[in-house]
Amino acid sequence: MANPTHILIIPYPAQGHMIPLLDLTHHLATTRTTTPLTITILTTPKNLPILSPLLSSTTNVTPLILPFPPTPGFPPGAENTKDLPPASFRQLIPALSRLEEPLGHWFESHPSPPVVIISDFFVGWTQRFAAKMGIKRVVFSPSGGMALSVIYALWRDMPKEEDQDQNGDVLFKGLPNCPKYPWWQLSPIFRSYVEGDYNSEVIKDGFRNDMDSWGLVINTFDDLERVYLDHLISVLGHNRVWAVGPLFPPHGLKDRGGSSTVDPDTILSWLDSCRDNEVVYVSFGTQSLLTTRQIEVLAEALENSRVRFIWSVRDPSVTNELDKEGDRKIHNTVFKEFEDRVGDRGMIIKGWAPQVSILRHRAVGTFLTHCGWNSVLEGLMAGVGMLAWPMGADQYTNATLLVDELKVGVRICEGPQFVPDPCVLAQTLADSVNGEILDRQRIGKLHTSCLDAVSENGSSSKELVKFVKMLTELKTKNT
């Protein structure tokens, strides 16, 4: 048997980034190849538990555990975004680059070091490291093709705030469909760089290193974003761009998450009692935090809409005003009184929710979402209509794709501080269930395309096989 091809995986320690890359790793580990693969995945001690499902279900994946680099201003032991404030990625990304030295020692001592690094687009320093080691680096994008196209355009063209047009928008003329966004909706990392943040210089170099990398793997699929995949191929100057999504856990592996106030079986039993498509699922992901006023308005809208719903709340005792104890008390009071009023018409999940299972249940027809890319793909895979409330990062771009280009969603509001009119929102929720504002035929067609992409002979499955074959050829050429 041929010697194994050794691959090194380097994630970024945020749940929305790690989980799809771990799913990709599982698929790489279990894809049949003539040359076997052996995979090492870099992690720090506190992030090791999230690897458990992957390590227990594969035999050719091994963790490389390196201590988290000491970082001024970080709480002791903080090494993932769950432990840190939402804006901490501006310090976390540079902090992770300090793993380069211990990683270099591991390479030098390894009897058969990796021939390629696959790493998240937030760890662009790995391109420089791979070049120093004489191996290839592949970027993994947890964001879609449109969002990545916007990100690359920002760091390549470096627009300034004064470049806005008369309507206050920055135009991306070089991109398909010429998207445009107001300055406040652009990447906060990019805006920090323009405003002179020192840490963002490292981040800028990282994204430019991404564009110089040997290949790119994206969590998307051909029918969804072909025009943006072609654009990226043109910008990067090569065709080593593989669309392998939607990336989901392998069959039999349950949703990954933490503790919750509601047992998953209880949730599914409640959904079983509902009619098809009558439930609205509400979730703002693992990072977005609603203000107390936003919580009050959303609760009022859900109550007055008379729809059945599941509302996944990130934390029962934290609002966006993290330093105000009074607001936290208001938060808890709002939920208690709200739950008493709606009774069994709705369910509130405090903590982790089995989102994939909820969305795929026949009773769920609408998803009120912050438009994080994982949530978008999960919604498309489930065939639900989406109500878009983007909060930051790539979510504004994802909402543009969903609402304006694909027309499978409705934008209800935008921004982390915006407070919608509760009466208008209540009517929108009711209309979404009644089929008056969502194009179910278009949603169903895209749902079918999504399923086709990950079928045995689908576009994403074929791209994954091509990608693995290319990796094994790297081993052959370097042997």
Residue range 111-162, pLDDT digits in tens: 999 999 999 999 999 999 999 999 999 999 999 999 999 999 999 998 887 7
Per-residue model confidence as pLDDT tens for the chain (479 residues): 567 899 999 999 888 899 999 999 999 998 887 778 899 999 988 888 888 888 888 889 999 999 988 766 665 555 555 555 555 667 788 888 889 999 999 999 999 999 999 999 999 999 999 999 999 999 999 999 999 999 999 999 988 877 778 788 899 989 999 999 999 999 888 888 888 776 678 888 999 999 999 999 999 999 999 999 999 999 999 999 999 999 987 654 554 555 567 788 899 999 999 999 999 999 998 777 788 889 889 999 999 999 999 999 875 444 444 444 444 455 566 777 888 788 889 999 887 888 999 999 999 999 999 999 999 999 999 999 999 999 988 999 999 999 999 999 999 999 988 999 999 999 999 999 988 888 889 999 999 999 999 998 999 999 999 999 999 888 655 54
Please report, in angstroms and rounded to a whole number, the separation of the first and last CA atoms in the chain. 14
Q: How many residues does the chain have?
A: 479
Enzyme catalytic residues: 17, 120
Residue 239, Cα to own-chain centre: how many angstroms?
24
Which token pair is 314? 């990130």
pLDDT digits (tens, 9 = 90+) for 271-307: 999 999 999 999 998 777 788 889 889 999 999 999 9
What percentage of the chain reaches a pLDDT higher than 70? Answer: 87
CA distance linking residue 15 with residue 257, whole number of Å: 9
Task: State residue 288 phi and psi, 5-degree precision.
Answer: -70, 135
- Contacts (Cβ under 8 Å, ≥6 apart) of 308: 274, 278, 279, 280, 345, 346, 363
Which token pair is 38? 């052996």
Is residue 139 a contact partner of residue 213, using CB atoms and an 8 Å limit?
Answer: yes
Task: State residue 326 phi and psi, 5-degree precision.
Answer: -60, -40
Is residue 18 a contact partner of residue 12, using CB atoms and an 8 Å limit?
Answer: yes
Instruction: Identify the helix (H) or strand (E) that includes residue 120.
Output: strand 116-120
- Contacts (Cβ under 8 Å, ≥6 apart) of 456: none
**Bond into 188 cis (ω within 30):** no
pLDDT digits (tens, 9 = 90+) for 313-327: 875 444 444 444 444
Res 248: pLDDT: 84
CA distance linking residue 171 with residue 24, whole number of Å: 33
Domains of the chain, each with CATH number or no CATH: 5-248+456-478 (3.40.50.2000), 264-451 (3.40.50.2000)
CA distance linking residue 224 with residue 62, whole number of Å: 34
